[in-house]
Amino acid sequence: MLIVPAIDLKKGRVVRLVRGDFSQEIVFSEDPLAVARQWVESGAPRLHVVDLDGALTGSPRHLETIAKIAKSVPVPVQTGGGIRSVPAIAKYLEAGVAQVILGTKACLDESFVTRALKAHGAKIAVAVDVKDGRVAIEGWVRKEWMKPEALIRRLIQQGVSTIIYTDTTRDGTMGGPSVDLLKQVLGIIGGQAGFFASGGVSSLEDLKMLKGLESAGLTGVVVGRALYEGRLDLKEAVKACSLKGSSPASTSKTAGLSKESASSP
């Protein structure tokens, strides 16, 4: 199971939001590149970088910063936030990003996902952000009518190879992950796509509990605030959650981030 540090960008700074609320912002650093290097030096097999301003406004705001991160670290970078056109996807991939995460547009426009997959295949991931049982879009400020189960089933049918699921009510709270809910989602996916969980992780004990879902198809866990506040040691977490340590597929900068590449020996 991969442990993936989150780097959330807002106005050029590394921040964490509590429950996705933009009014509850905690600033952790003014230097995103230094943070990225720190996590990689501590053993991160990849990085999860989100342009919060882009997610809120609908167009990328931190492409330059994310490009610098992708070119400066030897591990894959997956990124999302305001990426709502095929040309925008191409810009990020050309900048060195290994995988582009689609969110709002993937929920609202099924044909867009089809076009993105046709053009870029496993380099496309989709974020399923959930708030009060509904899919949350546009920087988590709008709840769509769609239930996450329906969206996940549609994405699987379309051939999406990586799904990143965030329980926004737990994100940034360090209140612990919703294991039972994740079990249900993994049952829907049925091993047909790589699956990353995000939201609520506060300790090594939480990660060990989530590792029990690895056999059900959990590929990795995105962790944020617990790392930044020192409640979780990244080196210890990576060691505890990987039976063999980081595999070549998980640490190769050019590796795809699909379930197959993440779990290969």
Active-site residue flag, 171: no
* CA–CA distance, 199 with 17 (Å, rounded to integer): 11
Residue 215's contacts (CB-CB under 8 Å, 6 or more residues apart) are none
Catalytic residue among 53, 129, 167, 206: 129
What is the SS3 assignment for 131? Answer: strand
* CA–CA distance, 65 with 106 (Å, rounded to integer): 24
What token pair was written down for 70? 């992708």
**Contact yes or no for 141/22 (Cβ under 8 A):** yes
Catalytic residue among 8, 53, 167, 206: 8
Kindly report the backbone phi and psi dihedral angles of residue 14, in degrees, each rounded to the nearest multiple of 5, phi listed first: -90, 120
* DSSP characters over 176-227: ---HHHHHHHHHHHTTSSEEEEES---SHHHHHHHHTTGGGTEEEEEE-HHH
Active-site residue flag, 167: no
**Residues designated as active site:** 8, 129
